[in-house]
Structures are given as structure tokens and as C-alpha cells.
């Protein structure tokens, strides 16, 4: 099953007799001192017909702390949030955001990891949608989804460190953060020793849509994902890395996610930090 869906395909599915559950996961990374982005307010101004708003910070992540800025949510709380949004195990789910794709990919990854069999991301997000929008706040019937974690691979800090040596660990952040030239958010600049720089922004074209699968496959082969070793991904807090896991899936490469990512790793002074353009 394809992990992404085009706007035209989604329009056809919504017009059919068994439309998917639509989740609006608009979110933006807010730097210190900046006014926080209000995804719920953006949703209220206009969203895809029938879509339900899901809050990444409160429903797709646990409280920030030792586990990072966006640790995985409590499984029971995540399941309850998805059921409130109308998610059921036997009904397809389509998630979208404002166009960047990171937040939608986080929802996609969490639902897949928790065992939902049919989840796709709207390629290009809201910007790709040419149909009408609505402003009515949706209150769907309760779904029946019960999370069963473990359907996809999850890494902790030790697992990420091991994979950087035995397999391929990709760093999905901007190159300057990987190299240690700047760090606007987390405690230290640099990268996990052995990790390879692979900015997630290079997985999409100017329109925000994913590159074709053959191009993504060629990109990841050039980075070392040639099918001979396990692949994992991290970023700052496990959001843009989910987008890279999605890009890898499109390319036919299974990959694990280090959810704690750099925000967890760099907060632990016992963890080594590498700087510069090379993995080590």
C-alpha cells in the first residue's frame, strides 16, 4: 500500500461510499521568543471537509523532558485521542498538515507503529488541495482503535548509538545543525558520532510534494541505504525524522525512528557529540 495519497485521489475517496477518516495535524516548530503557531486556530479558519484537528504537542507527544522535546505519548492517552478523532482499526486514515509534511508524517508514523493497517499522508498537504474548505468543527462518532505498539521499529538512545556503528543512522536535520555550526534549540551543537547527514528537506520538490520513488531510492542509496544494512533516522525531536522514514518507505527502504532524537541525546552529558561534515 502506498504511504502517500494525492489530492485528486483523496477527493475521489471522499466522494465514495466509505471515505477515510481525515486528521488535520497543522503544526510548526516555534523557536524561543517567537509567537507560538496555533494549529487549532488555523483549522478553524478552514480545513478539508470532515477533517478533525489533532494537536501534535498534546496528542502526538508526551510532555517534554528527559525523553526529548517530543517524546512518544502515553499509549493509552494516544489511543483515547485517536478514538475521539473517529479513528477505527477497520477504516482508512488520511493525515495532512499545512504543507511541510513533518507533522502529518509524525501522525502517520505513530498510527503505523501503534498497529493501524491503513494510514496515508496527503502529499503536499493543505496546499495541494484544490477543493472547497469548511470551517465547522467536527465532532465525529467515537472510533474503536486500540494501539498495539511495535508494528514498526523504534530506537532508543543506545539503539541509535549501536546502529550508527553497525548500520546506517541518518540525521534528518539541516546540514548546519549536523555540522555543529549552529544549534537554535537543543543543549549542544553537532551530531551522533557515526550518523550521516541527510536533511529531510531534500526529500521533496519546490511544491512540497515527495520526489518520485526512483529519485528517493537513488538519493538514499547514495547515502548508504543499499539494502545491506539496517537504517534508522533521527532529527531534533522525532518529527522531521518521521518525514524521512516516510520518504524511505516510499523508496522501498524500511527504517527505524529514534523518537527522542537530538533533543534527548544532547541533553545527556554522557553522550558523545561529533562536529563537522563527516560522520565521525
143-161 pLDDT tens trace: 999 999 999 999 999 999 9
Catalytic positions, written as ranges: 235
**Is 93:21 a contact under the CB 8 Å cutoff?**
yes
The DSSP bridge partners found for residue 225 are: none
pLDDT digits (tens, 9 = 90+) for 164-212: 999 999 999 999 999 999 999 999 999 999 999 999 999 999 999 999 9
Phi then psi for 132, rounded to 5 degrees? -75, 155
204 SS3 class: strand
The predicted pLDDT at position 17 comes to 85
75-81: Cβ within 8 A, 24+ apart: 75/114, 75/147, 75/149, 76/147, 78/110, 78/114, 78/147, 79/114, 79/145, 79/146, 79/147, 81/54
Q: All 3 cell numbers of residue 120?
A: 496515508
Alpha helical stretches, state H, 72-212? 75-84, 102-113, 157-166, 175-179
What's the whole-number mean pLDDT along residues 12-19?
92
What crossing angle do the helices spanning 102-113 and 240-250 adopt, rounded to 10°?
70
151: nearest Cα among 112, 100, 118, 107: 112
**Is 22:43 a contact under the CB 8 Å cutoff?**
no
What's the whole-number mean pLDDT along residues 223-251?
97
Cα 189 to Cα 172: distance, rounded to the nearest angstrom: 14
Residue 34 has pLDDT above 60, yes or no: yes
pLDDT digits (tens, 9 = 90+) for 118-140: 999 999 999 999 999 999 999 99
What crossing angle do the helices spanning 240-250 and 213-222 adopt, rounded to 10°?
110
Any idea which residue has 505519548 for its cell? 73
Compute the Cα dihedral for 140, 128, 73, 250 and give only its sign. positive
Residue 32 has pLDDT above 60, yes or no: no
pTM for the full predicted model:
0.96
Q: Strand order in 196-197's β-sheet? A: 154-155, 256-258, 231-234, 168-171, 196-197
Q: All 3 cell numbers of residue 223?
A: 547515502
51: nearest Cα among 135, 123, 127, 109: 135
User: Residue 273: left (phi > 0), alpha (psi -120 to 50), or beta?
Assistant: beta
Amino acid at each position: 500500500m502506498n504511504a502517500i495519497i494525492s489530492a485528486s485521489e483523496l477527493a475521489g475517496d471522499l466522494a465514495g461510499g466509505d471515505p477515510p477518516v481525515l486528521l488535520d495535524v497543522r503544526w510548526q516548530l516555534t523557536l524561543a521568543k517567537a509567537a507560538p503557531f496555533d494549529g487549532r486556530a488555523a483549522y478553524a479558519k478552514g480545513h478539508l471537509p470532515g477533517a478533525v484537528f489533532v494537536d501534535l504537542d498534546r496528542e502526538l507527544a508526551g510532555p517534554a523532558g528527559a525523553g526529548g522535546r517530543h517524546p512518544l505519548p502515553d499509549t493509552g492517552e494516544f489511543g483515547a485521542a485517536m478514538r475521539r478523532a473517529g479513528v477505527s482499526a477497520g477504516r482508512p486514515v488520511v493525515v495532512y498538515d499545512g504543507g511541510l509534511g513533518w507533522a502529518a508524517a509524525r501522525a502517520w508514523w505513530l498510527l503505523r507503529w501503534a498497529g493501524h493497517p491503513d494510514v496515508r499522508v496527503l502529499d503536499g498537504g493543505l496546499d495541494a488541495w484544490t477543493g472547497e474548505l469548511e470551517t465547522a468543527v467536527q465532532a465525529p462518532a467515537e472510533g474503536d482503535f486500540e494501539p498495539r505498539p511495535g508494528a514498526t521499529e523504534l530506537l532508543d538512545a543506545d539503539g541509535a548509538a549501536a546502529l550508527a556503528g553497525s548500520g546506517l543512522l541518518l540525521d534528518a536535520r539541516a546540514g548546519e545543525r549536523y555540522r555543529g555550526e549552529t544549534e537554535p534549540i537543543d543543549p549542544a551543537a553537532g551530531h551522533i558520532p557515526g550518523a550521516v547527514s541527510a536533511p529531510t528537506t531534500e526529500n521533496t520538490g519546490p511544491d512540497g510534494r515527495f520526489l518520485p520513488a526512483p529519485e528517493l531510492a537513488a538519493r538514499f542509496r547514495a547515502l548508504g541505504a543499499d539494502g545491506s544494512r539496517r537504517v534508522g533516522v533521527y532529527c531534533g525531536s522525532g518529527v522531521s525524522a518521521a518525514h524521512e522514514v516516510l520518504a524511505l518507505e516510499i523508496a522501498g527502504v524500511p527504517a527505524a525512528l529514534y523518537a527522542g532524537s537530538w533533543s534527548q541525546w544532547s541533553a545527556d552529558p554522557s553522550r558523545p557529540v561529533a562536529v563537522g561534515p563527516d560522520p565521525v
